Structure 1
Amino acid sequence: MGAKSIDSHILKDSKLIKDSSYLDSINHIESKTPQNSVFDEPATPKNTIDNTIESADDFSIDFNEYSMLTPINTQVINRFNEETISAFSIPTEYIATLEKEERLIAFDTRKWQYLSRKFDNGYEFIPILRKMLFDADIPQEFLFLAMAESEFDARALSVKKAAGIWQFMPATARELGLKINDYIDERADPIKSTAAAIRYLQYLYNATGKWYLAAMAYNCGLGRLNRAIKEAGSDNVEVLLDEEAQYLPLETRDYLRKIISMSLAFSNAHELKQMDKEYMLNRGAADSIVVVSVKSGNSLKNIAKGANMSVDSLKNYNRHFKYDFVPLGSGDYQVYLPYEKLSYFKQHFKDVVEVTSLQATYIVKKGDTLSSIARKNNTSVDKLKSLNKLKSNNLSINQKLLIPLKPINIITKNKYAKSKTATKKK
């Protein structure tokens, strides 16, 4: 699972994507040279990733007091649109087939109970995620792509090292402008990772012309999807998901069905009302978060105190921080809070950083010495011995050492980001 790097060329002439089927377009593919980047495919300016959506960093604007209470078009936000099928460009006949084969979610099963609990896992961020999808003209049903990927667990980590709600691999995440370093992993940042996912989904849609193809490519990779379409001789959803032909991996076939099934289930007003879960239809109408700026290096304990909430609760909103403080560096840093805490935070938060108190934990590995550990962490042997109350230089494997941290400038190169001054989101 997770976003895959694109590994074959897409069509240079983007007109074919609109004027004929995606199958016609990929038949023009000549080169199958592996690509090193999710964006390396040649494309016209209309199809380039920078022209589909702004970079992930553009979503890290000063959101102060930005919340789901901001006036928006509520036609789609307040309800899961009943036109789920048309959003994915899927024939209604195919849905009828799924229902006949009992592949849709039944409401009287343990599976539904399990999925409804997982849907509740994302209650803090579902509102803003839905609004971001809406603003980017991406079908709301793609919220369930995130649920299929991670069950809304921002800390989800696959055996292949894909992480976060949208399950990005490290290389893909960095290509999309997300930061991964000693202090932070923005794949676990629900808002910034969603901005990156939007960017990637827009790219896949521009490459394929259909949302269900974009969803498939998100799971198995655009190159793998291209090969499946060429082998099948069609980009029709029923053909591609054929169980006997197996044009696509089983994981991908089940993946799209799961997204469709969850979309239909969570937009079924009649059934949800019967089960006293009508609130799920309105998830996003009232819940909200805000983003506040604090000095880099601020402890989560200090921020939590200023917001009158527990550290654990604050961590729940900021799962991308690796330590109990915001990343070290120059300038301010953004932290997520529940909207109802904003007023208290403004009155009581003291933006004070005690850099000397910042420490990291290091686990001793085979071959480590105090000298080598000190060099790696820009400190001295004497400071390490003093901080850890060591009487000698002897170490043992798996021994835990406290490491004093110093402010550093954290710079992440993003060749796809646009340089411009960010403004407050309207």
Structure 2
Amino acid sequence: MKSLKLYASGRHFIFSLLVFFLLFAAARIPAYADANANNNDASAAAQELRHQKQENPVIGMSDLPQDKLAAVQKTPETSEAMPDTASDKPAVDNADKTDAAEKQNTDAQVAVNQPESSQYKNTPSPLGISYKSNETAVKAIDKNINLFKDRIRERFSIWLERSAKYIEIMKDVLKEKNLPEELVFLPIVESGFNLNAYSRARAVGPWQFIAGTAKRYGLVIDWWRDERKDPIKSTGAAADYLKDLHGMFGSWKLALAAYNAGEGRIMKALKKTGAEDYWALLHTKQIRAETKEYVPRYIAATMIANTPEEYGFYNLVYHEPLEYDEVTLNSPADIEVIAKCAETTVEEIRNLNPELRRWSTPPNVPNYSVRIPAGTTDSFVANLEGIPAEERFSVDIYTVKKGDTIKKIAGKAGVPVGAIIAMNSLSGIESLESGEKIKIPPKGKYHADLDDKMTAKKASYKKTAAKKSNKKAAKKTSKKGVKAKKTKTKKA
């Protein structure tokens, strides 16, 4: 009986001990599972980070999704130090591992909370412009970086892609003029590299010249052509202008500000404020808001254009660089004829010669160089020789009738007066004789461009303003007459 009791007691003890171990093991399994899951998550996150870095060298921990970033940052309490088999480094002990984990957490937190301005501190600024020690400059540039990469990202991507078509030929011009090549990115902020860009101030082309400045620097603007749209000729003029401005101010910041606002306005602002630097002018009211944004915008655009991936611009589809042959015509020719001889489209010839405003090359010059697709010179010359000179250029002839004026003829032809004047080299004040032959645009080939429309709008506005002014003057005169009559009546 006693032995049975001892046996039962011993079995009860073993059973209790077994239950204790089972409960202990059950309590440890979730912790082990969590630790193992955390290790797997951290490993997967680290692997993804390594994979993304291979695809994009500038990616950091802050670019990972939050759940994967948390996995990398978390250090499980139950994990053990493992040897770094990928390198010859020895395994770290627990104390070193804790320090490393804390540093990793800190670095990741810094990457997440890092302000925009410090993210791009290693990107060089263009033209050697120093700004990083100037808080005003840093804020202005960061503001425009964010504008381009966030608010107008899609539009800015189009500008970057389009720029590739013209950058190399423009750089060649800048090199010839001994100017910094980084000035080639100025058309990004001027026009987005749109050769046909037209502003409210009637500035035209990639470098946005107004007519007066363009003519001063040798660009031709007449009824037949507008060389502000020519990517090569306009770059030459812009280079000369920028060189003069830099010589005038001795600073690229002020030279760029003057390119935007005009040299007179910048000189006046410097004189009034006593400032010696562009950044100092940002705190004054002496320059417009547009000019205050202009230099920071150029710096921001150039920084992004030089390293677009660093600012999140991936998979850009750049345009092919501009290539062409050039041929000289000894007589005017329609664009349709040029396209036919070059065995291409009218659209392609217009794209290669954006300065041409009309249906043909200018007839008021003895010869004219046109661009045609690369590699087509031989076939072009052969095809052109097969077309008689009188069939290359289209023009209609109008015989002047009694009582006709330039204005009346223009009305009959459905073209502006300027077209008749330009095609016949008239001054506009001549009296026409009956039977005289006048050249007019061929039917259906004249199309008003933006400048034509703006000129017509301006003329209409002046006419309306003159009518209003005449009405006011007439009212004043009639009132004076009434007052004079009343005065005479009283005296009588």
Question: Does the pair score TM above 0.5?
Answer: yes
Displacement after TM superposition at 1:198 (Å) = 1.0
- Looking at structure 2, the residues matched to 380 and 274 of structure 1 have their Cα atoms a distance apart, in angstroms, of 65
Q: Name which of 245, 248, 251 aligns with 2:290.
A: 251
In the aligned structure 1, how far is the partner of 2:331 from the partner of 2:441? 25
Which residues in structure 2 correspond to 1:276-425 (within 5 Å)? Answer: 276-277=315-316, 287-342=322-377, 344-345=379-380, 348-350=383-385, 353-354=389-390, 357-359=393-395, 368-370=407-409, 376=421, 378=424
Q: 2:254 corresponds to which letter in structure 1?
A: L
Does residue 138 (structure 1) correspond to residue 179 (structure 2)? The answer is yes
1:103 is aligned to 144
1:107/1:271 contact within 8 Å kept: no
Shift of the 341–214 alpha-carbon distance from structure 1 to 2, 3 Å rule, reads: farther
Q: Secondary structure at the match of 2:389?
A: coil
Q: Residue in 2 aligned with 1:154?
A: 195
The answer to whether the 8 A contact 2:334-2:392 is kept is no
Contact 1:156 1:167 in 2 (8 A): yes
1:92 alignment partner, one of 106, 123, 132 = 132
Equivalences, count? 304
Measure how far apart 1:172 and its partner are.
1.8
Question: Could you tell me which residue of structure 1 aligns to residue 402 of structure 2?
Answer: none
Name the SS of the counterpart of 2:327 in structure 1.
Answer: strand
Percent identical? 26
Q: What is the distance in 1 between the residues matched to 2:178 and 2:270?
A: 26
Mapped partners of 1:386, 1:292: distance in 2? 27
1:218 to 259, 277, 281: 259
Please give the alpha-carbon distance, in whole angstroms, between the structure 1 residues aligned to 2:440 and 2:270.
Answer: 61
CA distance in 2, matches of 1:260, 1:318: 30
Shift of residue 145, structure 1, vs aligned partner = 2.0
CA contact (8 A) 2:219 2:234 kept: yes
Distance 1:271 1:358, change over 3 A: same
Distance in 1 (CA, whole Å) between partners of 2:441 and 2:227 is 31
Deviates more, 1:371-380 or 1:202-211: 371-380
After superposition, the Cα gap between the structure-2 partners of 1:204 and 1:256, relative to the gap in structure 1 and judged at 3 Å, is same
**Higher RCO, 1 vs 2 (CA within 8 Å, ≥6 residues apart):** 1
How far, CA to CA, are the matches of 1:322 and 1:149 in structure 2?
A: 21
Partner in structure 2 of residue 121 of structure 1 = 162
Aligned AA for 1:166? W
CA deviation after TM superposition for structure 1 residue 348, in Å: 4.5
Q: 1:234 to 1:331 in 2, by over 3 A?
A: same
Paired with 2:285 and 2:253, the residues of 1 have a C-alpha distance of 17
Residue 342 to residue 314, structure 1, CA distance change in 2 (3 Å)? same
Question: Which 10-residue stretch deviates more, 353-362 or 286-295?
Answer: 353-362
Corresponding position of 2:301: 262
2:235 match: 194
Which secondary structure does the structure 2 equivalent of 1:293 belong to? Answer: strand
Distance in 2 (alpha carbons) for counterparts of 1:166 and 1:159: 15
- Given that 1:105 and 1:265 are in contact with CA atoms closer than 8 Å, whether structure 2 keeps it comes out as no
Amino acid at match of 1:89: I
1:234, distance to aligned residue in structure 2 (A): 2.4
Alignment deviations for residues 182-231 of structure 1 (CA, whole Å, 9 cap, x no partner)? 21111122211111111111111111111111110011111111122223
> Partners in 1 of 2:377 and 2:433 — Cα distance?
41
Quickly say closer, same or farther: Cα 1:89–1:317, change in 2 above 3 A.
Answer: same
Structure 2 gaps, min length 5: 1-121, 399-404, 412-416, 425-431, 447-492
| TM-score in terms of structure 2 length | 0.53
- Cα distance in 2 for partners of 1:386, 1:210 equals 51
1:248: Cα distance to partner?
1.7
2:231 equivalent to 1:207:
no
Q: Distance in 2 between matches of 1:341 and 1:329?
A: 26
2:363 maps to amino acid: L
> Structure 1: which amino acid aligns with 2:155?
Y
Q: Alpha-carbon deviations, 1:40-90, whole Å to 9, x = none? A: xxxxxxxxxxxxxxxxxxxxxxxxxxxxxxxxxxxxxxxxxx985251533
For 2:130, the aligned partner's letter is: I
Q: CA RMSD in A?
A: 4.0
